[in-house]
Structure 1
Amino acid sequence: MSKGRLEAFSDGVLAIIITIMVLELKVPEGSNWQSLKPLIPKFLAYIFSFLYVGIYWNNHHHLFQAVKKINGSVLWANLHLLFWLSLMPFATDWIGETHFAENPVATYGAGLVMCAIAYTILENAITKDERENSQLKEAIQSRFKEYASIVLYVSGIITSFIYPYIAVALYYIAALLWLIPDRRIEKSLNKN
């Protein structure tokens, strides 16, 4: 099966997710700069989530550059990832509305954990049928970034009930791990 349809569908879903998030930013009632002040938490939440969706889109793109074939398990694993990413607008709106309160920040972290797990499942589904000498399989055999992210997210969830802003900082650190596209895959592709 061609990977083009999967990539196009995924791109469309991610574009819709970003659109939904930006539509949650309502125009203030007043015309002065002070009227923007109540929107700051929502705008910060939007920036944070836009960054995460962008990271997933970027790494998804790099991952599928190296994919040779698609099967049913890859399709379902990809849908699983898109499901968890589709909940991002809800979590984003909740943390913005509540000014990063404990329960919303924990829920946001739970969503990030599930996205990370789903991405790892997608990687596993892709490499399951690859030959032993597969460059993609070799490129992603070290899962440091995946597991470090999950540890940071779980730590953030636990921390969120005491210090929600520290939890957000942990989520941000995890994002920084992924901000640069996955070089393991780029190095693998450049060998050809």
Structure 2
Amino acid sequence: MTSERLEAFSDGVLAIIITIMVLELEAPKEYTLEAFFEIVPTFISYLVSFLYVSVYWVTHHQLFKIAEKINGKVLWSNLYLLFWLSVIPFTTGWIGQGNHHTDVVPVVLYGFVLLMSQLSFLLLRNSIIKIHEKKSPIAVHFNRLTMDFACVSIYVIGLSSAFLNTYISMALFLLVGLLKVVELNSISKRIQSIY
């Protein structure tokens, strides 16, 4: 089974996710700095969410660029990832409305969705690695257990710290996104050296 249809479908879903998120952004109703500062939490939540969706899109592209085969488990794992990514606009919008960025429940739900996105991507990646040889390029370049453990640990700390301070949680979620960008850059360089 080839991956072209899976990639095309995934690209479409991710494009819709970004479109929904940007439609949630509303311009201030007044032309004052105070009105602008009122929408800053909404913009920051959009920025962090856009970073995440972008990282998953690029990583997904690179993963399937060197995947030689897929199976039914990969298809279902991909849909599981897309489900969690599709919930990001909802949690982004909830955090961005009013002062919900300081409320525990929206921040915990946002972090939980990001954590589940991470875990579902790991499931997808491991499903692909299992149908390839252990020394295949996909297994060598995408099996990053130390970074995986670090990201999951930071998510758990971020979820726990939301009960103390939601700003710490959001900073930790942003940290994971930035770590993913660094990791993605490293993977990109290694893949380009091969292909």
Number of aligned positions between the proteins:
192
Which residue matches 1:44?
A: 44
> Helix, strand or coil: the match of 1:28?
coil
Structure 1 outlier segments of 4+, above 4 Å:
none
Counting aligned pairs with the same residue, the percent is: 42
Deviations 1:140-159 (A, max 9, x none): 33322222111101110000
Which residue matches 1:108?
A: 110
Which residue matches 1:166?
A: 168
Distance 1:61 1:146 in 2: 18
Unaligned runs of 5+ in 1: none
Which residue matches 1:77?
A: 77
Distance 1:73 1:183 in 2: 27
Query: What RMSD in Å do the two structures reach over aligned CA positions?
Result: 1.7
CA contact (8 A) 1:62 1:182 kept: no
Could you tell me which amino acid in structure 2 is paired with residue 100 of structure 1?
A: T
CA contact (8 A) 2:21 2:92 kept: yes
Are the structure 2 counterparts of residues 132 and 43 from structure 1 closer, same or farther at C-alpha, using a change threshold of 3 Å? closer
1:139 to 113, 138, 141: 141
From the two aligned structures, give the one with the greater helix fraction: 2
Which residue matches 1:149?
A: 151
CA contact (8 A) 2:42 2:93 kept: yes
Which shows bigger deviation, 124-133 or 161-170? 124-133
Distance 2:188 2:125 in 1: 12
Distance 2:68 2:189 in 1: 15
Deviations 1:74-108 (A, max 9, x none): 11000000000000011101111113322111111
Could you tell me which amino acid in structure 1 is paired with residue 180 of structure 2?
A: W
Which residue matches 1:190?
A: 193
Which shows bigger deviation, 35-44 or 175-184? 175-184
Which residue matches 1:14?
A: 14
Deviations 1:145-179 (A, max 9, x none): 22211110111000001111011111111111111
CA contact (8 A) 2:84 2:116 kept: yes
Distance 2:185 2:84 in 1: 21
CA contact (8 A) 2:48 2:177 kept: no
Distance 1:78 1:102 in 2: 30
Q: Compute the displacement of 1:136 (Å).
A: 1.2
TM-score by length of 2: 0.91
Could you tell me which amino acid in structure 1 is paired with residue 5 of structure 2?
A: R
Deviations 1:106-136 (A, max 9, x none): 1111011100100000011101111233121
Are the structure 2 counterparts of residues 51 and 138 from structure 1 closer, same or farther at C-alpha, using a change threshold of 3 Å? same
Are the structure 2 counterparts of residues 131 and 19 from structure 1 closer, same or farther at C-alpha, using a change threshold of 3 Å? same
Are the structure 2 counterparts of residues 6 and 28 from structure 1 closer, same or farther at C-alpha, using a change threshold of 3 Å? same
Distance 2:167 2:188 in 1: 33
